[in-house]
Every structure is written in structure tokens, then in C-alpha cells.
Amino acid sequence: MNPAHDNDPRDDDTLAAEYVVGVLSADERRAVSARIESDPAFARLVDQWEAHLSPMDEFVPAEPPASAKRKLDERLFANGPAEAGSRSSGPAGLWSSLALWRGLTAAAVVAVALLAVQPYLGQPGQPEQGAGRLVASLAPQQSDVHYFVVYDARENDIGLSHVTGERGADQDFELWVIEGDQPPASLGVVPAGTSVHLAVDQALSRKIEQGAVFAISLEPRGGSPTGQPTGPVVAAGDLREI
């Protein structure tokens, strides 16, 4: 497991610190990089060390030559600028990008990763409205169930992208919106599929826009028989504008 020195036992925390401070050999760094990609708990240790040490950083900004950007564009986009263009901001682009989150179970150990993508997603020239599209990560709660949620106020629509975690046979995931001390309100059973949509009525839209929390619970097939969550909350996250 230990990439280098015999008789040199190191715990993960030490290894993460050594990677961040930069003292490891080429082979060790390769091994650590691979581990960051595959081991979310370890990636989090590395992230924490970056956060500890980065205030030490200092550098002299230097303008790179224009040729650097030209070469970068050639390397990135030479084989299909049209494709790159067509993927910008459309729903397909969004979902294929969200699909990249698959396997990113680093999110599992981050309390909540959330992003509000309106107005950033707005197409140029498109009128911006007060409440637009918002994205939240519903991070696992003692489970491996992870969903991404996109709420679109204009369409009264919630899109759910299934990242990880399976429901058992005879069970369903049910999506809830929870506002302050109010009891959770059901948004319905989450249909099976990697990318699904739920309609939202106006009362629920208001709750969402006021900064409600989303939660997913595990329920008997067909949804909670009581109108309130009966099973464990397997994923949760909040949604607010940043």
C-alpha cells in the first residue's frame, strides 16, 4: 500500500500532508494522485491539508504570452469546436456534465455541495428573473444515495440526476421539501432512472425559493403511506442562492 519506503509506516493523514507540501517522489506522487481519484475519504484529507497550507502561498503574477492561450485552445478544441459550442449551457450539456459527478463520492463526505447556477446558466440575452434555476447536491446521509437536483422556477420543474445508490426491491425513494419547522411536504416518489423530472406546484415553489431543504427518504413501494417520511432519510441538501 505504502508506495515507497520500507520501515517507514505512514498513516493516510501524513501521506496527504506530504503530498500537499510537495516533498514526495515522482512515483509516490503518482500513487497519491491515483488514490485521490479513487478514494473520497483520502481526497478529503488532501483537501483539508490544502486548506491549512494554502494561506502560506505567495507568487508573483506574470502575464503568460498570448501564444500560450492559442496553443491551449488548439489542444482543447481543435478536434471539434462545434461540439464544444453545442454543449454550452443547454440542458443536454448540463446533464452530461452532471453525469460526470457520478463516481464522485467525495461528495459523500462533504456535508453539502451546492451550487446555484442561475444566473450563470443564463444564455446571453436571455432575460434573467429573480428566481431561476438552482442546483443542489443531495448528499448521502448514512447511505450511498446521492442525487443532484436542478430546480427550474420558470418551468415549475425539478430535475433529478441519480448519481449513486440503489433502492431495494419493493422500495421507493421519495423526495421531500422541508421548510423551517414545518413538516416535510412530499414532492412525490422519485421515478427510477438516471435523469427524471417532477412537477412542482406553486405552494412548493414558494417553499423552495424561500430556502427549503430537500431530503430523500426510503419508503415502501409507491411512497409513504402516511404522507410523512416513514423510512430513513438517505440523502439531503439545501438549496439557496449564492
Partner 1 sequence: MTAPDITKLIVRTSMKDRAAFDLLYRHTSAKLFGVCLRILRDRAEAEEALQDVYIKIWAKADRFAVSELSPISWLVAIARNHSIDRIRARRRATVELDEATGIVDPTPGPEALTMAAGERARVFSCLDELENDRAAAVKAAYLSGFSYAELAERFGVPLNTMRTWLRRSLMKLRECLER
Q: How far is the CB of 65 from partner 1 (least distance, A)?
A: 7
CA 119 to CA 191: how far, in whole Å? 28
Residue with cell 494561506: 55
Near partner 1 in 117-156, by CB under 8 A: 117, 120-121, 124, 137
Q: How far is residue 181's CA from residue 135's CA, in Å, rounded to a whole number?
A: 23
Exposure string over 220-233, b if 16+ CB within 10 A, otherwise e:
eeebbeeeebeeeb
Residues contacting 55, CB < 8 A, separation 6+: none
Region of 107-115, 150-158, 178-186, 199-207 interacting with partner 1 (CB under 8 A): 107-115
Grid coordinates standing for 155? Answer: 418551468
Which of 34, 38, 77, 192 is the binder for partner 1 (CB under 8 A)? 77
d(CA 207, CA 158): 13
Write out the binding residues for partner 1, residues 45-74 only, by CB under 8 A: 47-65, 67-69, 71-72
> How far is Cα 87 from Cα 93, in angstroms, rounded to an integer?
5
Amino acid at 220: P
How near is the Cβ of 191 to partner 1 at its closest, in Å? Answer: 24
Of 23-31, 182-190, 198-206, 224-232: span binding partner 1 (CB under 8 A): 23-31
Distance, in Å, from the CA atom of 179 to the CA atom of 181, rounded to the nearest integer, reads: 6
Report phi then psi at 234, rounded to 5.
-100, -15
Residues 45 and 20: their CA atoms lie apart, in Å, by: 10
Instruction: Report if residue 41 touches partner 1, rule: CB under 8 A.
Output: no
94 in contact with partner 1 (CB under 8 A)? yes
Number of residues interacting with partner 1: please give it, by CB under 8 A: 63
Q: Does 164 bind partner 1 (CB under 8 A)?
A: no
- Segment near partner 1 (CB under 8 A); pick from 101-109, 156-164, 177-185, 229-237: 101-109
Contact region for partner 1 (CB under 8 A) — 104-112, 155-163, 181-189, 202-210? 104-112
Which cell is 209 given?
A: 425559493
Q: Is 34 in the site for partner 1 (CB under 8 A)?
A: no
Identify the CA nearest to 114 among candidates 143, 148, 141, 89.
Answer: 148
Smallest separation (angstroms) from partner 1 to the CB of 205 = 23
- State the nearest-atom distance from the C-beta of 189 to partner 1, in Å: 27
What are the residues binding partner 1 (CB under 8 A)? 8, 14, 17-18, 21-26, 29-30, 33, 47-65, 67-69, 71-72, 75-77, 84-85, 87-89, 93-94, 97, 100-101, 104, 106-107, 110, 113-115, 117, 120-121, 124, 137, 242
